[in-house]
């Protein structure tokens, strides 16, 4: 209530006079309490429950899919289309420098095929609605694809094939940068309410959580797997104090397996010559080609040779299109991508580890780091065997010297005893 004379709030609802200025009750105005129709309240409650149910379902899918984001994308896009009253939906994800199609709701076979044919495409060249939100980092709405001249013809054709007229898209944001997009379409022209755009951004945030969850889980899996491999190699080192061969075999096997290689080899560098001392999965023709090269001096036109000469990692992304390196082994073995990591002792090369892939697929920084760890372990194994053998030799020499000293002492003792006893009595 408010007094019309003094314009002050009246704390007493049923007062006959304003307690502040004494104005009669007829001058005290009652505030009108806004009323909301029951049907509207019921609708708001239903929407809130639906959103809560969808969020709960998505979180459950995330917890059940720690290594696969696809079920989460599928659930998110279905929920977004349903709660926004949409016709179809789409999720994209940036992998490398390209935008990829991650999930979509099906409309019809030809429309689905037309949509899938657009992907992947370079991020910098994507001028579609998805490219717009990825670049601008804000939601983007097209109220009518048929009249909006900013829409590329290729996307208009897809819209017609799939049967939608309006679309809203929001970015998937992680640490202030876009990692994809989420979009919902409608079959009729029209705008989207602010609340609907906000809801779609909530779904996008959940997609980001799912992507991060899978990434972190896989990183943990990889770290545990790498630690297991490292532990295995250290165990082999401890069991082979006089023989480095089992260590080389374990290293090349783990290097090929963990780095998704086609085959691999360990090279030893001694007395100015390089030789293959262990291999894994090298085809017979590849082995023949290696035997024609090794043992031999390190050559700059081979990955292992250049790694030894430069003492640096040599990473050949595509052997078939790199004229700096001889293609003989690559052709014989059928590999395209190759990497060689030097084994260094006190800064000096003593060998190298090489892993190859049959397709053009460069090695990641994580894989290169793992190979460098294997190279360090190979050096430890070589040093361990060398020191153990030196200790054995030293112990053998000491034992021989002690035995000689003991024998000499025994001879001197006998000689001294004879002198002490004097000449024989019969002389």
pLDDT-derived band at 61 (thresholds 50, 70, 90) equals confident
pLDDT-derived band at 54 (thresholds 50, 70, 90) equals low
- Give, as one character, the DSSP assignment of residue 9: B
pLDDT-derived band at 5 (thresholds 50, 70, 90) equals low
d(CA 392, CA 121): 63
Q: What is the pTM of this model?
A: 0.54
pLDDT-derived band at 8 (thresholds 50, 70, 90) equals low
d(CA 356, CA 368): 12
Structurally, what CATH architecture does the domain formed by 47-217 represent? 2-Layer Sandwich (3.30)
Superfamily of domain 240-387 in the CATH hierarchy: GAF domain (3.30.450.40)
Greater pLDDT, 61 or 423:
61
pLDDT-derived band at 221 (thresholds 50, 70, 90) equals confident
Q: What angle do CA 118, 205, 125 make, to 5 degrees?
A: 30
User: Looking at 261-265, 317-321, 327-331, 348-352, which range is the least confident one?
Assistant: 327-331
Closest CA to 400 of 388, 411, 392: 392
**What digits encode the pLDDT tens for the residues 364-399?**
998 999 999 999 999 988 888 887 777 677 667 667
Q: Is 297 left (phi over 0), alpha (psi -120 to 50) or beta?
A: beta
d(CA 286, CA 401): 51
The whole-chain average pLDDT of the chain stands at 83
Q: Identify the pLDDT of residue 424.
A: 61
Closest CA to 352 of 385, 316, 296, 305: 305
Closest CA to 268 of 349, 208, 161: 349
Q: Identify the pLDDT of residue 17.
A: 58
Decide: 376 and 368 in contact? Cβ < 8 Å.
no
- Strands in 273-280's sheet, in edge-to-edge order, are 273-280, 263-270, 348-357, 337-345, 314-316
Comparing 47-217 with 240-387, is the CATH topology the same? yes
Q: Identify the pLDDT of residue 142.
A: 94
Backbone phi and psi for residue 213, each to the nearest 5 degrees, phi listed first: -60, -45
Which helix (H) or strand (E) segment is 280 a member of? strand 273-280
Backbone phi and psi for residue 167, each to the nearest 5 degrees, phi listed first: -150, 145
**What digits encode the pLDDT tens for the residues 305-328?**
999 999 999 999 998 888 888 877
Q: How far is CA 337 from the centre of its chain?
A: 19
**What digits encode the pLDDT tens for the residues 103-149?**
999 999 999 999 999 889 999 888 888 998 999 999 999 999 999 98
What are the residue boundaries of the structural domains of the chain, listed by start? 1-34, 47-217, 240-387
């Amino acid at each position: 209530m408010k007094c019309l004379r003094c314009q002050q709030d009246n704390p007493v609802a049923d007062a006959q006079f304003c307690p502040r200025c004494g104005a009669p009750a007829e001058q005290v105005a009652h505030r009108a309490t806004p009323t909301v129709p029951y049907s509207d309240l019921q609708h708001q409650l239903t929407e809130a429950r639906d959103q809560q149910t969808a969020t709960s379902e998505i979180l459950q899918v995330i917890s059940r899919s720690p290594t696969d984001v696809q079920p989460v994308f599928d659930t998110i896009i279905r929920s977004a289309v349903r709660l926004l009253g949409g016709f179809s939906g789409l999720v994209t994800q940036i992998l490398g420098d390209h935008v990829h199609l991650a999930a979509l709701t099906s409309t019809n076979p030809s429309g689905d095929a037309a949509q899938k044919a657009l992907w992947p495409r370079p991020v910098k060249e994507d001028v579609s609605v998805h490219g717009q939100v990825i670049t601008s980092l804000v939601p983007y709405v097209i109220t009518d694809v048929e009249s909006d001249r900013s829409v590329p013809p290729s996307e208009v054709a897809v819209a017609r094939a799939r049967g939608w007229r309006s679309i809203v898209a929001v970015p998937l944001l992680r640490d202030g940068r876009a990692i994809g997009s989420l979009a919902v379409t409608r079959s009729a022209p029209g705008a989207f309410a602010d609340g609907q755009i906000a809801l779609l951004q909530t779904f996008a945030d959940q997609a980001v959580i799912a992507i991060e969850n899978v990434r972190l889980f896989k990183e943990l899996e990889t770290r545990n797997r790498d630690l297991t491999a490292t532990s295995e190699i250290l165990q082999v080192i401890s069991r082979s104090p006089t023989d480095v061969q089992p260590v080389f075999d374990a290293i090349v096997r783990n290097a090929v397996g963990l780095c998704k290689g086609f085959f691999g080899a360990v090279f030893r560098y001694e007395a100015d010559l390089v030789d293959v001392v262990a291999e894994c999965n090298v085809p017979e023709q590849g082995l023949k080609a290696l035997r024609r090269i090794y043992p031999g001096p390190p050559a700059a036109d081979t990955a292992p040779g250049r790694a030894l000469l430069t003492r640096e990692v040599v990473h050949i992304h595509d052997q078939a299109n790199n004229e700096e390196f001889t293609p003989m082994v690559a052709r014989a073995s059928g590999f395209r991508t190759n990497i060689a990591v030097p084994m260094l002792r006190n800064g000096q090369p003593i060998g190298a580890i090489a892993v190859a892939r049959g397709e053009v697929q460069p090695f990641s920084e994580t894989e290169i780091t793992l190979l460098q760890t294997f190279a360090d372990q190979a050096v430890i194994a070589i040093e361990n065997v060398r020191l153990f053998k030196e200790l054995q030799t030293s112990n053998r020499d000491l034992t021989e010297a002690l035995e000689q000293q003991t024998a000499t002492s025994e001879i001197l003792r006998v000689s001294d005893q004879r002198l002490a006893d004097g000449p024989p009595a019969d002389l």
